[in-house]
Amino acid sequence: MFIVHDLGVAVLFCIVTMLGWGSWANTQKLAGKDRWPFELFYWDYAIGVFAFSVLFAFTLGNAGASGMPFLENLRSAQNSAIWTAIFSGVLFNISNILLVVAIDSAGMAVAFPVGVGLALVIGTVKSYVLSPQGNATLLFAGVALIVFAMIMSAVAHRHQGKAGLGDAAKRKPFRGLAFSAVAGCLMGFFYPQLLAAVSPDFSTRAIQPGLLTAYAALVLFAVGLLGSNIVVNTIFMRAGKVTYGDYFHGRARLHSLGFLGGCIWMLALSTNVIASGVAGPAISYALGQGATLVAAIWGVFIWREFVHAPKGTWTFVTLMFAGYVIGLVLIGMASL
C-alpha cells in the first residue's frame, strides 16, 4: 500500500485536507441555488464518499510492497476493529448531516467556523491524549486561538441578525448556530474513533494482527456513513416532506454536484489519515481542520454571506480570520 514517510509530504497532504474539507460545501451551495433540498443532495454526497473510498482502496491501497493489500487486511481484521471503523462513519454521518442543515440555514461563513471549529478542539485534544506527538504548548495555544475565532464567528452571526441570510435562517435566526454546535460536538469524536481501528505507526511498522490499514478503515468508515444514512436521512426527508421519488426525478447536474462533494470530502479525509502516520493524529487533524478558514473565505468573499451585514459586523469577521490564521500557524509549528 502507498505510505507517506516524509514529514513535508505529510504536511502537504494535510493542506489538501484543509482545502478539500473547506471547499466541498460549495457543491451544496450550487445545488441549493436550484432549490435542490439538502436531504437529496446528501444522498449523492454519501454515495460519493463510499465510491471514492473503494477506488482509493483498490488503487493506492494495493500499491507497492509496504503494509498489507486492502482485501488481505480486511479478511484478517478482528471484528472489533471492523465495527469500530464502521461506527466512526455512523457518528460522522449524524454530525455531518446536522452541519449540512446548519449550512442551509446560516451559510458557510458561520456553520463551518462554529461546527468544524468545535470539532477541531474536541478531536485534537482527544487525538493528542491517545497519541501525544508534537509540541503540546504550540498545539494547544493554536487550539485556543481557534476557539477564539469560533466565538468571533458566533458573535458576527448574532450581530448580523437577519440581513443577507437565506429564507430558513430568516425564519429561525439561531437555528443554524444551534445545529452547528451540536454537529461540532459529535464530529469531534469520529476521527479518534476511526484511528482507534487503524494499526498504530503504520508508516514505520508492520500492521498489527487484527487491526486495519488506513485504506481498509476508510472503506469501512464509508460503509458506516452510507448505511446509517438510510435511517438518518430518511428521518430528515420525512420532516422536510421530501420523497425518494423527488430524488429520482432530479437532474443529472444536481446529482453530480452531490457526488462530487462526497468525493472531494473523502479525498480530504483519506490524505489526512495517511498523513497521520507521520505527523501524528492530533496535528494532522488540527491542520486539516484549517478547512474552517477556507470555508469562511468562500462564504465571506465568494458567496458574500455578510454583504448586507451592519458595518460593525466586519470587526468580528476580521478577528475570526486573525484567530484562525495565527492558530493554524501555531499548530503547523507544533509538528516541527
Q: Does residue 1 fall inside a structural domain?
A: no
Taking Cα atoms as reference points, which of 27, 33, 88 lies closest to residue 214? 88
Torsion of CA 13, 263, 298, 239, to 10 degrees: -140
pLDDT, residue 173, reads 47
Q: Does residue 138 fall inside a structural domain?
A: yes
Report the C-alpha gap between 308 and 144 in whole angstroms. Answer: 30
pLDDT, residue 169, reads 45
Task: Give every CB contact of residue 13 below 8 A, 6+ residues apart in sequence.
Answer: 4, 271, 272, 274, 275, 284
Q: Per residue in 293-316, pLDDT tens?
A: 888 888 888 888 777 778 788 899
pLDDT, residue 194, reads 96
Q: Which three cell numbers stand for residue 46?
A: 454519501
Report the C-alpha gap between 40 and 38 in whole angstroms. Answer: 5
pLDDT, residue 25, reads 87
pLDDT, residue 171, reads 42
pLDDT, residue 220, reads 98
Domain total of the chain:
1
Q: Does residue 121 fall inside a structural domain?
A: yes
| CA-to-CA dists, residue 184 to 87, 93, 187, 289, angstroms | 17, 12, 5, 12
Q: Does residue 202 fall inside a structural domain?
A: yes
Give the domain extent around 246: 7-334
Q: Which three cell numbers stand for residue 167?
A: 429564507
**Residue ranges with strand state E in the chain:** none
Q: Which three cell numbers stand for residue 49?
A: 464518499
pLDDT, residue 247, reads 97
Rg (CA), the chain: 19
Q: Does residue 2 fall inside a structural domain?
A: no
On whether the CB atoms of residues 15 and 279 are closer than 8 A, the answer is no
Which residues of the chain carry a pLDDT beneath 50? 164-171, 173
Q: Does residue 246 fall inside a structural domain?
A: yes
Q: Does residue 184 fall inside a structural domain?
A: yes
pLDDT, residue 167, reads 47
pLDDT, residue 311, reads 78
Q: Does residue 137 fall inside a structural domain?
A: yes
